Structure 1
């Protein structure tokens, strides 16, 4: 995991360093919460995906708590990088640097609402393209067409909302083909578009945002949160809370 906070993460994503300029392939940015840790613990392919070139930010207070428990040096430095908050912050701060944004994911209807909402909230925002891909597994046609439309748009930052683990595979594959920054932000599109309720700030800061989301959509999310959280807790208990968790195959990754 990369240790940072929302402001610094957004500044990096919109910086000239990250935006490149044709001298490298793109950046893949993944936001890792308890669900992703649980999946990585039992899926070697996904664990390898999270370990592939790119950046992992801790999106989820339980993940941050474990990072702090395993390393005293992180107790005052590790912060949650929440996807929707990072999205808002980067859209806002990027205006001063003429950052060009592309939205990839969700449905055409939600994308229309998202573009209207963000352009209203952030006057001067540059949205240079959007694409709602078909609801289907990722294949070569997805990566070919996705790389084509992003390249034509000349986007600096591509925000990807396809749900994990699909969006993590998408940002890694597209970053291999296009000189842009690809950020997997999950439900952020729905929150900003107003198509899904967002937890109050006090729940976000207490580690109970998952309970709000579960209550808002129990039929779709019960397995993710009830089973996923149980698996996450079992990983923490089995591997301990201290430095002994740092070893080959640890789904939390290497702390930097």
Structure 2
């Protein structure tokens, strides 16, 4: 069930429920847009109301970070015992897909990362069917390229698409492609890099106590300092304002039109 966190609708869900939702859409061959939002992801929707409307059109938005889970519990009494983060959700989904024989398609990142990712997945899940893969072009789509890409994915026989383009590019991509593909599309963040062995995940104790951002900042300070040192305090201030009712957290207008320009 969706709950309002600073105007962004986040589902109070669990790993088991999220996997069930994704697999049901895959079996039924219906469009289903999924993303997992940590603080940075929520704040992209707060600071860009058009993007916030885009996020609120997603079928499933999971609480990726502990601070987002805490917000659901504090503001809405969700009583969530755990977050539902993108990399771990990815593993649960591909395991379930392997068990049911549902092929997956990998889109995003680089060819090198995808090669390592596929090797690791095939070593750990021999039954997993990878219908196809395609690295990011790191540019915006050309006119008609979305239709061509959708045709390639559909022709591959894939039933689930995993998208690793980074936030917020991947959410824009999933929103644009959802109407063109009768299958779930999951924006999975850094999952490709983690499961390919390119990035190390912070220790479990940091993840459990909401300090994963600190571990990532230590590993990539030049790229991530602005995200965490500026956005995290901003998020906490806005959350306090919503909790004390000093700031109404109304959702942005819905975005239903597909974007004319989106990343590929």
Q: TM-score, normalised by structure 2?
A: 0.86
Structure 1: 5+ residue stretches without partners = 252-256
After superposition, the Cα gap between the structure-2 partners of 1:198 and 1:142, relative to the gap in structure 1 and judged at 3 Å, is farther
After superposition, the Cα gap between the structure-2 partners of 1:117 and 1:47, relative to the gap in structure 1 and judged at 3 Å, is same
| 1:11 shift after superposition | 2.8
Structure 2: 5+ residue stretches without partners = 1-9, 254-264
Given that 1:161 and 1:185 are in contact with CA atoms closer than 8 Å, whether structure 2 keeps it comes out as yes
Alignment size in residue pairs: 244
CA distance in 1, matches of 2:43, 2:197: 29
CA distance in 2, matches of 1:140, 1:152: 20
CA distance in 1, matches of 2:41, 2:58: 17
2:202 corresponds in structure 1 to 199
Which aligned pairs between 1:123-142 and structure 2 lie closer than 5 A?
123-142=126-145
1:41 corresponds in structure 2 to 46
1:254 corresponds in structure 2 to none
CA distance in 1, matches of 2:252, 2:62: 16
1:215 corresponds in structure 2 to 218
After superposition, the Cα gap between the structure-2 partners of 1:111 and 1:41, relative to the gap in structure 1 and judged at 3 Å, is same
Which aligned pairs between 1:1-256 and structure 2 lie closer than 5 A?
1-14=10-23, 17-21=24-28, 24=30, 26-72=31-77, 74-75=78-79, 77=80, 79-240=82-243, 247-249=249-251
Q: Residue deviations 1:163-184, cap 9 Å, x none?
A: 1111001111111101010000
| 1:37 shift after superposition | 1.7
Q: RMSD across aligned C-alpha pairs, in angstroms? A: 2.0
CA distance in 1, matches of 2:53, 2:178: 16
2:180 alignment partner, SS class: coil
2:260 corresponds in structure 1 to none
Q: TM-score, normalised by structure 1?
A: 0.88
CA distance in 2, matches of 1:128, 1:7: 24
Given that 1:11 and 1:93 are in contact with CA atoms closer than 8 Å, whether structure 2 keeps it comes out as no
Given that 1:4 and 1:79 are in contact with CA atoms closer than 8 Å, whether structure 2 keeps it comes out as no
After superposition, the Cα gap between the structure-2 partners of 1:10 and 1:92, relative to the gap in structure 1 and judged at 3 Å, is same
2:42 alignment partner, SS class: helix
| 1:231 shift after superposition | 1.8
CA distance in 2, matches of 1:141, 1:167: 19
1:212 alignment partner, SS class: helix
After superposition, the Cα gap between the structure-2 partners of 1:123 and 1:241, relative to the gap in structure 1 and judged at 3 Å, is farther
